Amino acid sequence: MPYSSDVAAAEALTTSYQKLKNEISKVVIGQDDTVRLLLTAIFCQGHCLLVGVPGLAKTLLIQTIAGALDLDFNRIQFTPDLMPSDILGSETLDQERNFKFIKGPVFANIILADEINRTPPKTQSALLEAMQEYSVTIAGQKYALGRPFFVLATQNPIEQEGTYPLPEAQLDRFMFNIYLDYPSYQSELDIVKSTTSDKKYDVQRVITGEEIREFQQLVRRVPVVDNVVEYAVKLVHKTRPNTEMAASDANQYLEWGAGPRASQALILAAKCNALLTGKYSPDIEDVKAVALPILRHRVVRNFKAEAEGISVEQLIKRLL
């Protein structure tokens, strides 16, 4: 849907965002920050990792967002015996004994990778090419994935038995690492009342794939002043221990810092955050608003930080 100007497109994005929030709130109570970050990632063409204990509606939230977007949606339940071909697809013989490629569930616009840390690294890595290149390679043949394409993965932090932590290289491909906390007392009252009755909620589709692609291009066209870019890049450099611009906390408590993808994600997310709050250009406050979910999975604490009980979140807040 072409817009008369970028200002008109920005207003349409804000309107669509409010409509999406209203539709999602019919089913998912609370979790406003999580919804904002998930929709920001979608408008920035990024992927998300949701981390939280069981029962916090991670899967329901992603299914509800998929229902409000006019896009193909597939859910993949990750288990220890899942194979890469169960995700990507495989070649089989047809009736004429010719090889034919049968597409796997990754060929959709939105992929819910449920409990992604419950499958071995061999299967986790099946998503790497899809997330980065928007294509998959089977038997030497490359197959393009439809656009837009998002991987929204969930992970339970307390399940240590039989889990396989995601490698740093794959974590880095997720734009946001979103922590879901327990709901407040009032929110949980509302959740229990709404989910133990026979009331049904219909989620309307309010935005198409074509509109999402338009908004993704719009986000990239948002102008950014140099001092905001410099702030974002300096913030990332501060996380890198034993480098010229490293913060003292990083030298003391971090094993590894964030890479250039973090700087790119900070600027893209700040641009989108500005548009969603009615501004036409991001400022340093927009970078700060998205810094925690962008950096928390890209820095690695050392033994000293773990021994002293200093969390990644505390270190990032000190750097901010």
pTM value?
0.89
For 119-135, give the DSSP string.
S-HHHHGGGHHHHHHSE
- The percentage of residues in the chain with a pLDDT greater than 90, rounded to a whole number, is 40
pLDDT, residue 160, reads 61
Residue among 105, 95, 96, 89 nearest 141 (CA): 89
Residue 38 Cα to chain centre, angstroms? 6
Domains of the chain: 6-211 (3.40.50.300), 222-319 (1.10.8.80)
Calculate the average pLDDT of the chain. Answer: 88
pLDDT for residue 162 = 67
Position 204 scores a pLDDT of: 86
Provide the 3-class DSSP secondary structure of residue 150.
Answer: strand
Q: What is the mean pLDDT of residues 246-256?
A: 89
A 10 A CB-CB count for 133 gives: 12
Of 266, 273, 148, 281, which Cα lies nearest the Cα of 217? 148
- DSSP character for 88? H
pLDDT digits (tens, 9 = 90+) for 86-131: 999 888 877 777 888 888 999 999 999 988 988 888 888 888 888 9
pLDDT value, residue 241:
92
**Mind listing the pLDDT tens digit for each residue in 74-89?**
999 998 899 988 999 8
pLDDT digits (tens, 9 = 90+) for 11-28: 989 999 999 998 888 888
